[in-house]
Amino acid sequence: EPEVTQTPSHQVTQMGQEVILRCVPISNHLYFYWYRQILGQKVEFLVSFYNNEISEKSEIFDDQFSVERPDGSNFTLKIRSTKLEDSAMYFCATGLASREQFFGPGTRLTVL
Amino acid sequence: GESVGLHLPTLSVQEGDNSIINCAYSNSASDYFIWYKQESGKGPQFIIDIRSNMDKRQGQRVTVLLNKTVKHLSLQIAATQPGDSAVYFCAECNQGGKLIFGQGTELSVKP
């Protein structure tokens, strides 16, 4: 069964450093999303992406965040200058239709 | 504002019993809801969905009920098994696919 994959599974970084989280969508999926989950809290929407542009973004998704599909397959989330409060699980989700979402296993980001 | 929340943060049931997990939402215009299961160390996994033109939808061992009058969702799991132990989230899905998750209920199944 096809799955969304994410790399790395765990990323440790120093505050102020840039990180790039990667997602490989299920083949032929057209809709892409990033969510995050701070430990012990609910999953929060960050951004949705379709047709090579952002469809919707949350207040969390400020100028420090960006997304792209650099090679038409991988979907990446970049945080330019990480803060302590960026520590969380980051989930990628992809779907063939706009309201269908299959989640990846997540990347645990730890900012020191 | 938008919010989706859960009544009970934890639920402990005996194996074989039925489980009921509840959820309240605040946006009366919402028309699509999804229940997700999240096991430790994994991403949310789709369980069942329901549109606002329905009151009830059944899957394999799971049933979702929607009461639009009081803006309430519930997930019923029949004959709960140890493998059902996880955190369960309800989520409201807007037209663009954005999911607004509730806080989550941890279901613990005792053998």
The per-residue pLDDT for range B63-93, each reduced to its tens digit, is: 999 999 999 999 999 999 999 999 999 999 9
pLDDT tens, residue by residue, B15-27: 999 999 999 988 8
Contacts of B91 in chain A (CB under 8 A): 43
**In this complex, which of B46, B96, B100 lies closest to A98 when CB atoms are compared?**
B96
Contact between residue A60 and residue A77 where contact means Cβ atoms under 8 Å apart: no
Contact between residue B46 and residue A26 where contact means Cβ atoms under 8 Å apart: no
Q: Which pLDDT score, from 0 to 100, does residue B4 have?
A: 58
Statement: residue A42 has pLDDT above 90: no
Judged by CB atoms closer than 8 Å, whether chains meet at A56 and B98 is answered as yes
- pLDDT, averaged across chain A: 94
Judged by CB atoms closer than 8 Å, whether chains meet at B43 and A99 is answered as no
Q: Which pLDDT score, from 0 to 100, does residue B41 have?
A: 84
A54-58, A84-88, B9-13 — which is least confidently predicted?
B9-13
Q: Return the half-sphere exposure (C-beta side, CA atoms, 13 A cut-off) of residue A76.
A: 15
Strand B105-110 to B10-14 pairing = parallel
- What does the alpha-carbon distance between residue A112 and residue A100 come to, in Å, rounded to a whole number? 35
Peptide linkage before A70 cis (omega within 30 of 0): no
pLDDT tens, residue by residue, A76-100: 999 999 999 999 999 999 999 888 8
**In this complex, which of A56, A100, A105 lies closest to B42 when CB atoms are compared?**
A105
Contact between residue A93 and residue A4 where contact means Cβ atoms under 8 Å apart: yes
Mean predicted confidence (pLDDT) in B36-41: 91
Mean predicted confidence (pLDDT) in A20-27: 95
Mean predicted confidence (pLDDT) in B55-67: 96
